[in-house]
A = this chain, B = another copy of it.
Amino acid sequence: MTDNSTAAGPIRLGMVGGGKDAFIGAVHRIAARIDGRYQLVAGALSSTPEKANDSGKALGLAEDRIYTSFAEMAKRERRLKGGIEAVAIVTPNHVHYAAAREFLRRGIHVICDKPLTSTLADAKKFAKAVEKSDALFFLTHNYTGYPMVRQAREMVAKGELGTIRVVQVEYPQDWLTVPQSNKQAAWRTDPARSGAGGSTGDIGTHAHNLACFVTGLRLESLAADLQAFVSGRKLDDNGHVMLRFEGGARGMLWCSQVAPGNENNLRLRVYGDKAGLEWRQEHPNHLHVSRFGAPPQVISRGGAGMYDSIAPTTRIPPGHPEGYLEGFANLYTEAAGAIRSHQSGQTNDTLVPGIEAGLAGMKFVDACVRSSARNAAWVTLD
């Protein structure tokens, strides 16, 4: 992983959302810094002026580039010499589209947190906005940035697993086991801000995305049984989903926010007619691969068995663990590469999820909710 900037220097970045006390904004900023490819120069970090101001100053922004309105930021930065080239959108879900639209129409590249939106309707409009824009769009389904996830994907693509038959993916957490009233919980359990999916939207989309990213398969239909176990909760906090992929592979997906002892226990297992693999987000530097009839192997990040093509996503030797932030940074760094290529008129293939992945995620949530309302009947995703 190179840590140098291109001749043009770091990309000038703005941020929408991510003021004080926000979790994911800080993550995006670290991810942007790790490889030195961005410089944060403007922000609409909060719609509350005082908070926007305090947050911006704390981040070293010039006073005249601290905004309280993303629309104003988009307008002014577009005209400014040395204005932002890209913007990171890290607000609650229901604001993503409204904000992104302002930047996309002005040719400012957008890096947006997931899920794409709070409603499928918005997601479809979002897709059109991206299509019309000359700017690039990136969605931070960050788990796709882990090197061993890339390795898994490439092993499947090369046919190492044979024909895929079974996909088991799960994302259990426990933080909503009891009623919570903090800021993180508040918007995530509020349909107006989060959308129709609770655990399905917040973490089920990650699981769905990861399964599709690694297998390269499109989910055709699902049957979902969603629950809200905590009394008074308006959105699902646990979801059981059976999956049918194109080509005949079948799977199960479990997402939960009420499973005591689970922090962010995202786990993917894929089985083909030749081999199986397993990856866990909490121990992301190792990929377990079992060829039928041979002893199971452990491929470690940077170690023997890792494809050369994966090397650019790692920074340090095997045995020195990389984590969540480095995986997240890979998306930022690859987005930076794509932006610089785009600016110089070249195309740049990138594995960073884009609008299609975002739309697919919204269809997944929508399908889960529709299916569960019909007693877990099978529904298609289109």
A contact set with B: CB distance below 8 Å = 2-5, 9-10, 23, 26-27, 29-30, 33-36, 58-60, 165-166, 168, 170, 173-174, 177-178, 223, 225, 227, 229, 238, 240, 242, 244, 250-252, 254, 256, 258-265, 269, 271-278, 281-285, 288-300, 303-305, 315-326, 375-378
Contacts and interface: CB of A to CB of B under 8 A. Distances in A.
A260 B324 contact: no
Contacts of A315: 26-27, 30, 325
A149 to B, nearest CB: 13
B3 A30 contact: yes
A166 B305 contact: no
A118 to B, nearest CB: 22
A259 to B, nearest CB: 5
Contact of A178 (B273, B278, B282, B299): B273
Contact of A254 (B165, B168, B272, B297): B168
A319 B264 contact: yes
Closest 5 CB pairs of A and B: A263-B319, A261-B290, A264-B319, A4-B58, A321-B323
B229 A165 contact: yes
A185 to B, nearest CB: 12
Contacts of A9: 60
Given A271-B260, A283-B321, A292-B178, A223 B4 contact: no
Judged by DSSP, the binding face of A is: loop
A267 to B, nearest CB: 11
Contact of A27 (B227, B278, B293, B316): B316
Nearest to A58: B4
A15 to B, nearest CB: 12
A59 B6 CA distance: 9
A303 B252 contact: no
Contacts of A316: 23, 27, 324-325
A265 B173 CA distance: 22
Given A295-B298, A321-B324, A240 B250 contact: yes
Nearest to A250: B227
A276 B244 CA distance: 29
A240 B242 contact: yes
Contact of A177 (B5, B30, B273): B273
Contacts of A174: 276, 290, 292
Contacts of A318: 263-264
Contacts of A276: 174, 259-262
Nearest to A252: B240
Contact of A293 (B36, B273, B275, B304): B304
Contact of A295 (B166, B244, B303, B323): B303
Contacts of A4: 58-60
B282 A321 contact: yes
Given A27-B316, A299-B295, A238 B278 contact: no
A324 B291 CA distance: 25
A269 B5 CA distance: 42
Contact of A256 (B271, B322, B376): B271
A265 B23 CA distance: 32
Contacts of A165: 227, 229, 238, 258
A53 to B, nearest CB: 13
A292 B26 contact: no
Contacts of A244: 225
A376 B170 CA distance: 20
Nearest to A29: B3
A252 B252 contact: yes
B259 A271 contact: yes
